[in-house]
Structure formats: C-alpha cells, structure tokens
Amino acid sequence: MTQPASPARPVTEKSAPADGDPGPWRSLAARVDVRTLSLLGVLAALVVIGGVTEPEAFLDTDNLQLILTQASVIGVVTVGMTFVIISGGIDLSVGAIVALASVWATTVATQDYGFAGILFTAVVVGLGCGLVNGLLIAYGGMVPFIATLAMLASGRGLALEITDGKTQMVTVDGVLKLGERDSYVLGIPPLVLVFAAVTAVGWLLLNRTTFGRRSVAVGGNAEAARLAGIDVRRQRLYLYLLSGLCCGIAAFLLIILAGSGQNTNGNLYELDAIAAAIIGGTLLSGGRGTITGSVLGVLIFTTITNIFALNNLETAVQQIAKGAIIVAAVLVQRRSATT
Amino acid sequence: MAPEPPLLTMSGITKSFPGVRALDGVDLRVQAGEVHCLLGQNGAGKSTLIKVLAGAHQPDGGTIAWRGDEVTLRSPIAAMRLGIATIYQELDLVEGLSVAENVFLGHEPTTAGFVVRGRDARAAAGALLKRLGHGEIDPARLVGDLSAAQQQIVSMARALSHEVRLIVMDEPSAALDPDEVDNLFRIVGDLTADGVAVVYISHRLEEIRRIGDRVTVLKDGRAVAVGLPAKETPTRAVIALMTGRNVEYVFPDRPKPPARPPAPVLVVQGLAREGEFEPLDLELRPGEIVGLAGLVGSGRSEILETIYGARKPTRGQVRLEGRVLRPGSVRAAVRAGLGLAPEERKAQGLLMLESVTRNVSVSSMSRFSYGGWVDRGKELRAAREATRELSLRPDNPAVPVRTLSGGNQQKAVLARWLLRGCRVLLLDEPTRGVDVGARAELYTVIRRLADEGLAVLLVSSEVPEVLGLADRVLVLREGRVVHTAPAEDLDEHRVLDLVLASGRHGPEPADLASTGSASTGPASTGPGTTGPGTTDPGTTDPETTDPATTEGSPAS
C-alpha cells in the first residue's frame, strides 16, 4: 500500500545541498552557529585574559593540563545532564551519585578486586542510582526534581554511612598510575582522553541515533512523542540510566585524580553541570540542546576558576562571576532567539 | 428599546490571527437588563469576540461604545472597571487559594493598602455566595476541593464582586446538571431584574429559548443576525443562520463503491469509556472515509483517542486486521498500523522545535536506522518523498515545522503516517486552523489516501466537512451514536437537528423560505439505506446525487 519509502523511486542527489542535506563542509559551517561561535569567543577571550594577567603561570603546559583534567570530571557529568535536560527533565542527584560511587568503589573490600573492581563498582553504583531515579520518574510518575532531590539526600547519606566521614585512600597502583605523568598520551592526561571519548560518544548518540532523536522528541513535546508511538516512559528510564552511568565514570575519574574516595566528593556538581548546559544553549524546558555547547560551558567555567585562582582572587568573586556569566549567556540567547 | 443609548455597542469589530481572520466586522448591541444570546458553530468567532469584550484581545478595527461613549478596552482591568465581567468556560480560578481569596483576587479588601482583611473578605464572599443560592460553600475552603459546579459559582461570585453592569457567560451550563442549571437561570433572572445585562453563550438552543431575550448569530467571523427576538425566531431559522455559508467548500468526488466491499480493516466492538462515551460498534473498510459528527463534548475526540490507545477503554475492544489491539497502548496501535492526526496539532501532534524531516520520520525511525544508528540521507529522502506525495510546501523538509502554514503542518502529520505505511488514519479536526483555500487541497489529499486503500475515521466540528468528505456518518450526542447514515442521505440541518435538539427526528418541512436547499437532501433521496455499511448500494450512479450534498448548503 502506501510505502513511499521504497528505494525504487529515485531522488535527485544533486538537489541535496539546497534541500538541507549539505555536504560535510557546509554541514560543519551550518552547525557552528552563532551560539557556538560566541561560546568559543568567550573561551578565547578568557585564554587571552589568563595569558595577559598571568602569562607564565596560565600558559604553562602543566596549568593547561590541569584545567582540562579538572574539566574532565564535571564534563562527563555534564554530558549526561545535557541529555536529561534536553528530554525535559533534571537530575539534581549527580553530585551525590559521584560521591556515593567514589566511596563505594574505594572501600577496602572493593579495592581487593583491584583496578577492575574499582571501575566496575563505580559504574554499577552510578547505573544503580540512575535506575532508581529513572524508575521513580518514568514509572512512579514522580517529578524529576523531587525524585532526584531525594536521591541527592539519600545518596549523600549513604556515602557518609559508608565512609564514616573518613577519606578512603586508594592503594591500587594501576589506578594511581593513571593520574601520573607517565601515563599521559602525547602530553594528554588519560582523564582528558576519557572526557573526550565521552563527549564524542555523547555527540554521536544525540545527533546520529534514534536514542538522541527520541530524547529530543520527548523533551520537545512529550504528548506528541507519545502519540507518535514513542515509548516515552522507557526513554525517560534510559536517560536517567545514562546520567547515572556518566556519574559512575566521573566518580572513577575523580578517584584517579584525588587518589582517594570521599563522601564530600562532587559537591554542588549538579549546579555546575546544569549551569554549563544552560550557558551551552540547552533549553531548561527541554527539546533543544547541544553537547558541544555544554562542553564549551564546562571549559569556560573551569578556565574562569583557574584564572581567578592564579590571580589570587577570592572564591566569592569567582562565584559572582559565574552567576553573571549564566545571566549574560541566557540573555544573549533570548535575544538571538527572538531576532 | 429604551430611549437611552444601549449599554454596549460593538460595531465592525475585526480581529486577525496569523492565517485566520477570526472576526470580520462583527456588530453586537446589548441593552441593560437583557439576556443577549451569542450563537455560532465552533470557530465562528464567539470566543474571540468575548475576549475582545473582556479586554483580553485588542481588536484590529471597529469601535466599542459603552453607554454611548466610545471606549478602548486596553486590558482586562479596563473592562472590569467599566463593569464588564467575564466567566470563561475554562474556569480561571487559583486552586490553591480559598474561595474568598479567589473571589477578591486583585481587589482584596485591605487595611493600609496591603494587609488583607481576611475576615471581611470571607464575610463578603459568603454574602455573594448566598445571593447566588450557594450559601453552603465555605468561603474559607480551597477552591481545588470544590466540585466543578461549585467552582462555577465561585467564578460567578468573583464576577459579582465587582460593580458589574454586564456579565459574559461562556457556556455556563456545560458542566452543570439540570438542578444546577435551574439555579443558574434563577441567578440570571435576578441579575437582569437588577438591570445587569447578560451575554449568554450556549450550544443548547432550548436554553436560549428559556432565558434569552435576543440572539446574535455569528458565522465565519461575521454577525449574520444581530438582535433577533430569542423566543419568536424559529429554531430552523437559527440553525440556518448558523450553518449557511459564504464560503463554498469544494470536496473531491466520492469514488463509486466497489461491487464487493473489502473486508473491514478496523473493527471496534462495544468500546466505551465511563463518563465519556457509551459502547460503540464500528467497522472501517479500506478505501472508506467514516465521519463522526457531534458537538464539542459529545465524545468525538475521546473515541478517536481510545481507539488509538491514548486512553484506556473501560470495556470493549479494537481489532485491526483481525488482531486485537492491547487496550490503552499507543505503541501497539501504531505498530499494528493505526495513525492519529490529533486535534491539537501543535500540542499533541508536532515537535515544534524540529524540522519537517524529523517530524515526519519520528514514527518510523526503525526504517532508516541500523542498531539505533540513523541513516540521515535515507531519512531525508524518505521524508522528502512522503512530503512531496502530499505536495507539502515549501518543498524542503529541512525547514523547521513551525514555519509552515496550518495546512502544511497538517500535511507533515499526515506524511508521518504515510511514511509509516499505516492502514487506518484517525483524523481529529484535520482542518482546524487551516485557511479556507488550503482546505480543499487537504480534502483532496485525504480522499486520495483513502482511494489508495487507507481507511479513514474523521472527526470534525464542521458538519459540512463531515458530510462532504465522509462516505458514511455517525452522529454523536453526549457520548452516544444517535444516527448512522451514508453521508449522501444527510444534510447539515438534519445533522444539527440530531446534534442539538432533544430527539427531533425525521425530516420536517423547513419553516424558512430563505433556505431553499434545506428540505431537499433527506426528503428526495430514498430511505431504507440508513443502516451501517458502505454507501448506498442501490444508487447505481452516485454522482447524480453528489452535487446536492457535497457542496454544502448554498448560502442563504
């Protein structure tokens, strides 16, 4: 009957660029939109400011590696958060999940299983928390804000229970080694490589797969998505699982970075991740967002923190600057959205 | 009437929204102390007119005079200051506030300008409620805890809490049972006795007979009758005014019914949803368009959405090509071959932030994805092919769907199901918000899809659309099918009679000279073919009867 998608009917490929399937170069030009350019501009300006105010300290290779390393942990969390926000949800529990995963993966019992034990535990704890979030939200009908707020509270509580407030030192050499300079690949820390890989996978997932399509559809109009035959609830479950997985990976990175697990890890990660996604152009109401924007948002924040630290400015000033940037970014986006 | 100027005079009011001319030079004159009824089909412009009157919409043209002086209603507050209160159909109460707080929202009795005198407010609200015959509603209760009828009373109390000269009531009886309607009419009587004017909107003609003084009829954004006497004007005349059209709808020809009708593709048996619609039986054959005619609230959309699995039936089943669909599962319905173009295209149908391509491909992603990986080239080609098949404009599926006109947005929804290769299309108000010119094209598209073997179930508030497009029509009233007939055996008056009136059956001689076509339809075509089935098998040449019914009644 009506099967217009049959490949029998030829469609002129020549008309393709004009019709919106541009070649790779035009496609790249189209995708690097005003927002991405302005974010890149802000980042470049920050690098200039850093280079001018503290030329030696800021542009030092060690410092640049440090910035990227610090960005890696929160960056991986932000990739998961971006998906959740695009789907119209929110995950307030990411910081708590990172903390819980990092302490669970560094207990004496877990460390007995070595490198694999730590990695496995971190990832499974992250997925487990994401599963609980997802089930409560998708099938329990809870509002994401509430469900993940509850996870935040209980996750932190459980992390404290496990550690009793103590720092759990990592004794597994394989893990500690990943934080050392010997492990750098062409001068790039392994943590940064993981961040890059997560970013790439996240970008592909969002832009090239049915999973990404469905996430955007659910966030853009859940009712329309449901009536179009998408299993909205299952999609929501998957999204919180994804966020949990990202937290598990981030927890592992944090263990490498700190050489320990602590129940205070990941403090306020939820706010940093949401802020990075928002200045990256993700709509808090869902339906639109980019991985590129979120990652640039993370880099901007991390660079600011670094510059302020190098210039011996107080944390208070940093916080104010972050707030101002969030407001400015959203105002600029509103302006460009209306014109 | 009185020598003094009318309380309200609206003249030549125009108002356009993108793509739609909602009001096209409407006049309305209301005298103090009268019940002035506003009638019109869905989309005639009633809501827009009362929103202009309430200050919620600014008219593009025309003048409004209040007691003889020209005024501009810049905001709802400006209208309220004059003494115009509006009770909307969608109650606009704050559920988390108490009755008294709702009644005085925005003009609370205060001490020193900001301290709310709660006790005074409650006492005053209580007095208002008593006056409305509902002294039993506690002013301190939360509005969210009240029944719909009680909330309506609170809405009315709010209107009366202002110094009110004119009250607009938008279908106030829709949510009320008969006792409460009687109370409502008593309140209306008290108000008019005090010299307050009431603009009353209702679909129920018998109510208008009971309480109305004069009637203004709107149709296609124009006032076709201003201030007719409500008691004396014959029902048929009112119906004729509501339905007579300036716009000629052009419908595609119906194909000749096949000699041997194909087996039904969709079979609905005893499908019902408590409180929404009664058990329904329905068979849909490939190539057939079946229409559901009825008013808002008659259960039309609910039936469609239940068949589609978007609502879970209380009983009954839906079978597609012999297979029973899992009740309440959209995914099962879509997988089996059902497609829905929902009533609220923007809210339920489209992903407004996304491109046409993605809107079209969303239901068939597995077709051009491998292990979750989307082949975007294939996706674009498929979407382009589907949209071209429907002549969607612009011919570029990469554009955002929100930039399309209403008709083309609807085509994007249809293309989605075309691409999916569905067997049965459920269309809920397919031409709502679609320009008159673009409608004919949509009608052609829908008919062509049917000719290609789809079965179509069509819901529309516009009776001519159902009669012109469908092969067979089910007339619904209050959740029940009251009549089934081939579309050719029905005309608009007959359907509206069935839909509006309380059981006035059979063709009566029209009591209006001005509508020549009124009596021709059902009287001249042979009876005996009103059973459910395909179009009249006795009529060997259906084209001969087509023009009379497919073009709708000529304008009076």
Q: Which two tokens mark B325?
A: 């669909």
Tell me: cis bond preceding B394? Omega within 30 of 0 counts.
Answer: yes
Interatomic CA distance for residues A259 and A255, integer angstroms: 5
Higher pLDDT, A19 or A336: A336
Here the CATH number for the domain that contains residue A88 is: 1.10.3470
pLDDT at residue B203 above 80? no
Average pLDDT over every residue of A297-324: 88
**B541 — phi, psi (to 5°)?**
-125, 90
Residues B61-79: tens digit of each pLDDT: 999 999 989 999 998 888 9
Q: Does A3 touch chain B (CB under 8 A)?
A: yes
Nearest 5 degrees, angle CA A129-CA A135-CA A141?
A: 130
- Is A29 contained in some domain? no
pLDDT band for position A27 (50/70/90)? Answer: low
Alpha helix segments (H runs only) across B452-487: 463-469
pLDDT at residue B496 above 70? yes
pLDDT band for position A36 (50/70/90)? Answer: confident
Yes or no: say if A206 and A291 are a contact pair by the CB < 8 Å rule. yes
Q: Which two tokens mark B257?
A: 């019914």
Distance, in angstroms, between A222 CA and closest chain B CA?
8
Mean pLDDT of chain B: 83
Helix (H, G, I), strand (E, B) or coil at B556: coil
Could you tell me the maximum CA-CA distance found in chain B, to the nearest angstrom?
83
Higher pLDDT, A32 or B41: B41
Contact A224 B348 (CB under 8 A): yes
Contact A213 B365 (CB under 8 A): yes
Contact A20 B418 (CB under 8 A): no
pLDDT at A12: 38
Distance, in angstroms, between B59 CA and closest chain A CA?
24
- Is A185 contained in some domain? yes
Domain count, chain A: 1
Chain A hits for B380, CB-CB cut-off 8 Å, are: 16, 19-21
Distance, in angstroms, between B421 CA and closest chain A CA?
5
pLDDT at B181: 84
Mean pLDDT of chain A: 88
Mutate to test the interface with B, among A21, A27, A85 (most CBs of B within 10 A): A21
Chain A hits for B287, CB-CB cut-off 8 Å, are: none
Residue A307's Cα: distance from chain center in Å?
22
* DSSP assigned state of B233: S
> CA dist B141 to A291, B89, B130, B138, B153, Å?
49, 22, 15, 6, 14
In chain A, the N- to C-terminal Cα span, in Å, equals: 44
Higher pLDDT, A247 or B493: A247
pLDDT at A31: 54
- Is A1 contained in some domain? no
A73: amino acid identity, one letter: V
Considering the entire predicted model, what is its pTM? 0.75
The strand pairing partners of B20, in sequence order, are: B17
- Is A5 contained in some domain? no
Contact A20 B357 (CB under 8 A): yes
Q: Does A209 touch chain B (CB under 8 A)?
A: yes
Contact A229 B376 (CB under 8 A): no
Show which of residues 273-302 on chain A sit within 8 Å of chain B, judged by CB atoms: 287-288
Distance, in angstroms, between B374 CA and closest chain A CA?
5
Closest residue in B to A221 (Cα) is B351
Interatomic CA distance for residues B243 and B514, integer angstroms: 13
- Is A290 contained in some domain? yes
Q: Where are the beta strands (DSSP E) in A80-157?
A: none
Chain B hits for A23, CB-CB cut-off 8 Å, are: none
- Which residue among A4, A208, A224 places its CB closest to the CB of B351? A224
Residues B214-265: tens digit of each pLDDT: 999 888 888 888 888 888 887 777 777 877 654 557 788 888 888 888 999 9
pLDDT at A28: 54
Q: Where are the beta strands (DSSP E) in B321-466?
A: 323-324, 338-341, 369-370, 373-374, 424-428, 455-460
pLDDT at B42: 67
Chain A hits for B395, CB-CB cut-off 8 Å, are: 19
In b/e form, how buried is each residue of A192-217, taking b as 16+ CB within 10 angstroms? bbbbeebbeebbebbbbbbbbbbbbb
Q: Where are the beta strands (DSSP E) in A187-324?
A: 260-261
**A231 — phi, psi (to 5°)?**
-80, 90
Show which of residues 286-345 on chain B sit within 8 Å of chain A, judged by CB atoms: 308, 310, 330-331, 333-335, 340, 342
- Is A266 contained in some domain? yes
Chain B hits for A19, CB-CB cut-off 8 Å, are: 380, 384, 395-398
pLDDT band for position B485 (50/70/90)? Answer: very high
pLDDT at residue B470 above 50? yes
Mutate to test the interface with B, among A205, A210, A211, A284 (most CBs of B within 10 A): A210
- Is A15 contained in some domain? no
Torsion angle, alpha carbons of A234, A236, A241, A247, to 10: 170
pLDDT band for position A203 (50/70/90)? Answer: very high
Alpha helix segments (H runs only) across B349-435: 356-361, 376-389, 406-420
Contact A224 B350 (CB under 8 A): yes
Contact B373 A229 (CB under 8 A): no
pLDDT at residue A18 above 50? no
**B470 — phi, psi (to 5°)?**
-80, 155
Q: For chain A, how many residues are written?
A: 339
ipTM exceeding 0.95, yes/no: no
Range of the domain at A315: 37-338
- Is A11 contained in some domain? no
**B392 — phi, psi (to 5°)?**
-70, 135
pLDDT band for position A337 (50/70/90)? Answer: low
pLDDT at A123: 97
Give B246's Cβ-side CA count (13 Å radius): 10
pLDDT band for position B147 (50/70/90)? Answer: confident
Residues B367-388: tens digit of each pLDDT: 888 988 999 999 999 999 999 9
**Of residues A70, A63, A65, A126, the one with CA closest to residue A254:** A70
